[in-house]
A and B are shown apart, each in its own frame.
Chain A
Amino acid sequence: MSPNLEDELRATFSARAESVPTAPDPYPATARRIARARRRRRASVAGALAVTAVLAVGVPAGLHGLAVRDGSLSARHGGALSWPLRGSLAHDRAFLGALREEALRRDHSGDMAYVLYAHDDGRHRVAVVVTVRGRSARGSVWLGASGDGPRAMKDNSLFGDDSLPLDPEPIVWFAGGTGPLLVLGPPTMTDVKVSPAIAHREDGTPYREVRTVRADQGAVLTDVPGARLGQLSVKFRIGARYSEAQDVPYTLSRNNSPAYWPAVGKAVAQAAGHVDAEQARGLLDGTAGYFGLTGDQLTYRFWWGDRLPGGVDALVATIRVPSEPEIRVIQDTYRFKDGTTDQERYAVRVRDAADAQRPIGWTPAVDKPLPEDQKPTLGAVYVPNGAGVRVELWNHGTMMMAARAGATGLATFSPRLSTEELHGCEYHVVDGAGKIVARGGFGQPDLDFTLGRNVPW
């Protein structure tokens, strides 16, 4: 072996690693990512009481949670309000004056109106307006047809009167349908990568098509053919680097059909064991939300439900979203003392009809609702029609323990292994003659992952 190559490799790695820039404080971005992941997992079962499925609100990325702090408005002008006015109408004094006037007419609580963007691309007329009173501000995107005056334009709320873009990320707004996408950032934003939707290859592997759009002085207004609500995502480049992917917020208000709830109730009644109807609806609505759909637009079947040790409710379902591969989903629901719930969802693609009848193993994170000193790692195996069947836990060729599946076909193990270690184990389902009739692992991909939500791009 040539030692030279190894030395060169060390030097190459070292030199390449030097190109990695330092981040002043990486924690805030990480915390935001954690919060986002948590929000996605946390499904409000209580929310299912509403007939209307409002899947997201039109608050732009970067403007969430920015409570107005003490200080005069002028002290906050370092934020979005300090951005220069941009767009093809930036010098159209008549339009801008009329726009400010109309903005204050519509927002009675505003004292001043700032126009951040005003543009007419020959088909659409778009403006971004912030009305301010004291320490509160309201932001809105105005949309009309080319040539429209402010009175003819429709305003869409960006953020409410209790928040202000103090240190804003770019404003991202999508009109929906065939409407345009607006990304308004600081003038240093040079371009925006736009991914309209998740696509699938022939073998079902999800991927994202990405288009790069140059910003004009930090502003992008573009059509997004094929955009799919819930999947449209952007990255913006400010300086040398792109941001992480930002899902584009949207508002969707569609009614499930009156038959939806009874249909779900009927479906859960047909499942083995017990499936909680609200948890089932939460799964359907959450999955549908990824695709800008409502639960009644899905094809689904609930196969099984049971309560795991630690009080976690688990269910197994198969779901088909129109034009998407069918998936088999495991949902674990944790109930906290305050009544809120938290869900873990795992999913695999269904390859054939028999898949739904095959055993499946996973590792419910039963530590969530338990005190610090009671955090076992659990391995769970659901064996369809497997009441009383023997299930063995094998670790690298050694059988660690065995269990009998309960009345609903659920077998659980608490082998005092870490989750990672348990993911390296295998379960064997053994028949009365001692023959292995099924085997598998415990590591299952997240639902997001299987749906392609986490396709890196």
Chain B
Amino acid sequence: MSHGTLIDPRRSRRRALVNRGFIVLCIACCLVSVATLATLLTSIFWTGISRIDGVDWPALRGESVTLPALDGTLVRIAPDAVEVVDELVHVRLTGGEEFTIRRSALSESGGILRGEDSFWGPVEFTDKEIIWRDAIVRASTGEANAPEVRQSELQKRAGSGLAARIARETELGRFLTSPPSRNADEAGFMPAMTGSMLICLVCAVSALPLGVGTAVFLEEFKPRRRWARMVHSFSEMNIRNLSGVPSIVYGIIGLTAFVTLFGLGNPREPFFAAGDKDSWLYVQLPFGRAAIAGGLTLMLVVLPIIIISSQEALRAVPNSLREGALAMGATRWQMVWNMTLPTAIPGIMTGAILAMSRAIGEAAPILVIAGIVYITWAPKNLMDEFTAMPLQIYNWASRPQEDFHSVAAAGIIVLLIVLLTFNAAAVLIRQKFQKSLH
């Protein structure tokens, strides 16, 4: 048969068409997912950035104005004092002062009052405005340079109905260090962050040894007997199934197992308690809706993930290394401890970090354990009530007031930054150790 009979021009044209169509389809899919991600991030960023950055972007829509002053402090002016007409922002203070600035002057990093001679954009100052500005400048640079206008006077003005509030710290710092509040402007993330850190710590400390140990057993100590092999592969299969169980189910298990200790006791009247209730070392049984119960529940959620990723990492260790170690008279344990585990540690760490980033973003099981609670303090000890970042975000986002939605968005930004840090650490570890693995 000659080659000529194999080539059908119609078929090859169709083949090329299908090929090109497939590539176009792939690119389209990529674009859609990138666009979705970009939309999500931008919307969160634009909603939440004001609570972190201090420049009130929604203010430009005529709601309120935040003006950064010379030393980075903020002057926030209530929405009812602001009127936006096209490119101009009219601010009428209740004391009677008025001034107008251009919207472009409220640029993202500068602001009109940063430094006496570094203005962003063309700004026409009225006399009143200059007085107002000078007052802030003098107040922030200290009395010595400004004997005639004192800080107290500024505060008096504010108190006398200037309707301008002076925030004494930057927005990010305030957001990260203050407790949640009924007032959106004062709401902070601190208890949720410490709570999340605490439960993640409990989760990591409990899940890592358990998960890696299980993976080592499953991968390195395969039994030889027939029935033992069956038990072995049965448990392996079950662990794989567990990784697909919805996390809310783990929440229910955690509620039963850790909060009430299978109903053995009432958390409010623990049958065992040791130490002072306010000290770090306080322990009680059952745990109640405590941080340790949340952490252990998260452990249940991430355990299958850690086991499976550690198994993959161990499987990636070439068998020749195991044989080499055994051939020199290593026991199985020595082989695992001195050869397999050190070689697999980068992979195990990567999996563990990714599992932790799953744990820190997990809301459902924590919701079951902690409930929707209004907690304004950081947990005092592992037995204390707690809240976590996803819960707090959920709490804020479900409120009807629009202001709280931007607070929720700010919380999401913090959570995303934590997650991205985790993932970046995983990538770095993988890259750093990749060279040593052949």
Q: Do A and B belong to a common assembly?
A: no
